[in-house]
Amino acid sequence: MSDNLPVNDAGKPLLYDPSERRIRSFVTRAGRLSPAQARALEELGPQFCLPYQKTPLDIAAAFGREAPAILEIGFGMGGTTAAIAAAMSDKNFLGVEVHTPGVGSLLKLIGEQKLQNLRLIQHDAVEVVNHMIAPRSLAGVHVFFPDPWHKARHNKRRLLQPAFVSLLASRLAPGGYLHCATDWEEYAVQMLEVLGAEPSLENTATAYAPRPPYRPVTKFENRGLKLGHGVWDLVFRLRADA
């Protein structure tokens, strides 16, 4: 973390800027680290974790190569992210997650699978996109199974709101795509409405898209499918005239 970021009472950098007054899509919680996650953070964090900064990131320099860059927001424990990065070694993957166990888990997978095309940022995704991602610099954005905030009074906390979708669209390079997925039908309906209302994006399907082959089915998702639960993928692209 950058030395000039705000810190909490324990002297640790905050995962968001408290001066930015807005509703957040996450709640910070400590979480318990496994010994393996803690070891991965200590040993691999310095190499694969990037500090949050309020200036645009030089993505090519961060990866040591020029390649299409894909941003994943909220990678959880990192299993899907690692699988996609391993299958698409020709692309650079930038993962953003606030919860420390998830960061440690993905670092552990990076070490086990010897992945070189992943970099992680532990910070509020809205601030990362706003400050660190330059306009028209991303080949794609993945937002898989974000918190549905299913209670009506909490819907305002959902990540995919019109202003943020517009911001994400502004970061897509020509031909770039935004791929979202959820297992909460009511959130899927809202996603379709919000994405469909963004003038710079166009739907690649009539409504919901078939699951692209690059997105693996997680154990949790597979269990839900067997129980008859639905999963909805949405894949939108930047319009050619945007």
Residue 119 is predicted with a pLDDT of 98
Task: Report the mean per-residue pLDDT for the chain.
Answer: 88
pTM: 0.86
pLDDT value for 3: 45
User: Is 147 a known active-site residue?
Assistant: yes
Among residues of the chain, what percentage have pLDDT more than 90?
74
Which overall architecture, per CATH, does domain 35-238 show?
A: 3-Layer(aba) Sandwich (3.40)
For 128-147, write each residue's pLDDT tens digit.
Answer: 999 999 999 999 999 999 98
Domain ranges of the chain: 35-238
Those residues whose C-beta lies under 8 Å from the C-beta of residue 242, and which sit 6 or more positions away, are 169, 199, 200, 201
Indicate the pairing of strand 138-144 with strand 201-203.
unpaired
Q: How far is CA 224 from the centre of its chain?
A: 22
* Beta-strand relationship, 138-144 and 118-121: unpaired
The pLDDT value recorded for residue 134 is 98
pLDDT tens for 3-61 read 455 544 445 555 656 556 545 444 455 568 899 999 999 999 999 999 999 999 999 99
Short-list 22, 25, 20, CA closest to 6: 20
Annotated catalytic residue within 147, 183, 233, 241:
147
